[in-house]
Amino acid sequence: MIKDIKTLGIYIHIPFCIAKCEYCDFLSFADFKQQDKYIDYLIREIINCSIDSSLYLVETVFIGGGTPSSIDSAYIVRIMEALKKRFTLSETAEITIECNPGTVDKDKLCDYKAVGINRISFGLQSADNDELKMLGRIHTYEEFLKSYNTALECGFDNINIDVMSGLMYQSVDKYEKTLKKVCELAPSHISAYSLIVEEGTPLEKKLDILEEKGICPLPDENTERKMYHVTKDILSKYGYRRYEISNYAKEGFECRHNMSYWERVDYRGFGLGAASLIDDSRYTNVRDFDSYYDMLDKGEEPFCEYEILTKKDAMSEFMFLGLRKCDGIKKSEFFQKFGVEYDEVYGNVSEKYKKINMLIDTKDTVCLTDEGMDVSNVIMADYLPD
Q: Convert the pLDDT of each residue in 229-284 to its tens digit.
A: 999 999 999 999 999 999 999 999 999 999 999 999 999 999 999 999 999 999 99
User: Percentage of the chain with pLDDT > 70?
Assistant: 99
- Fold annotation for 6-262: TIM Barrel (3.20.20)
Identify which of 42, 185, 63, 196 has the alpha carbon closest to the alpha carbon of residue 121. Answer: 63
User: ∠ CA(125), CA(126), CA(131), 5° rounding?
Assistant: 110
Give the CATH architecture of domain 312-381: Orthogonal Bundle (1.10)
Give CA–CA dist 347/209, Å, rounded. 48
pLDDT at 207 over 60: yes
Map residue 10 onto helix, strand or coil: strand
The interaxial angle of helices 73-86 and 35-48, nearest 10 deg, is 10
Domains 6-262 and 312-381 fall in the same CATH topology: no
Average pLDDT, the chain: 95
Say if strands 159-165 and 119-125 run parallel, antiparallel, or are unpaired.
parallel
Give CA–CA dist 266/282, Å, rounded. 10
What is the per-residue pLDDT across 71-104, written as a single tens digit (0 to 9) for each? Answer: 999 999 999 999 999 999 999 999 999 999 999 9
Give CA–CA dist 318/249, Å, rounded. 23
Global confidence as pTM: 0.96
What is the domain partition of the chain in residue ranges? 6-262, 312-381
pLDDT at 176 over 60: yes
DSSP 214-237: T---S--HHHHHHHHHHHHHHHHH
Name the band, by pLDDT with cuts 50, 70 and 90, for residue 3: low
What is the per-residue pLDDT across 285-300, written as a single tens digit (0 to 9) for each? Answer: 999 999 999 999 999 9
Beta strands in 66-180, from DSSP E residues, in sequence order: 89-99, 119-125, 159-165
DSSP 265-295: --EEEESTT-EEEETTEEEEE-SSHHHHHHH
pLDDT for res 212: 86
Name the band, by pLDDT with cuts 50, 70 and 90, for residue 306: very high
